[in-house]
Amino acid sequence: MLVYDLQPQAVSHLVKEGALGADSFTDCLKKLNPPRVALMLAPAAFVDQTVQQLTELMALDDRIGDGGNSYYQDSLDHFHRSR
């Protein structure tokens, strides 16, 4: 499992438990083999900006899974904007 969090101490904790850590979205995506799948678990207030940041870094055949607390219509909008 590869993990990234805005709080480095959260990543460090999971690395001690056996996860592979990343210190940025770019670092995270470099450590994944294409096609890449990113499962995003972000509070609803941060989903839009997180999807935008990831979409800018990912290829067309990469995927983002929104496992957060988003309104379903927002998830559909993210899908359409990322194509």
| CATH superfamily placement of domain 2-81 | NAD(P)-binding Rossmann-like Domain (3.40.50.720)
The pLDDT mean for the chain works out to 90
SS3 29: helix
Whether 35 has a pLDDT exceeding 90, the answer reads yes
**What share of the chain has pLDDT > 90, as a percent?**
54
Closest C-alpha to 47, from 68, 30, 33: 68
pLDDT for 71 equals 79
Q: Are 3 and 21 in contact (CB under 8 A)?
A: yes
How far apart, in whole angstroms, are the C-alpha atoms of residue 29 and residue 2? Answer: 10
Give the pLDDT band of residue 24 (cuts 50, 70, 90): very high
Place of tokens 């067309």: 60
Amino acid at 49: Q
What are the residue ranges spanned by the domains of the chain? 2-81
- What integer is the mean pLDDT of 55-76? 85
Res. 69: pLDDT tops 80: no
- The pLDDT of residue 45: 85
Rounded average pLDDT over 58-65: 90
Q: At what angle do helices 44-57 and 72-81 cross, to 10 degrees?
A: 20
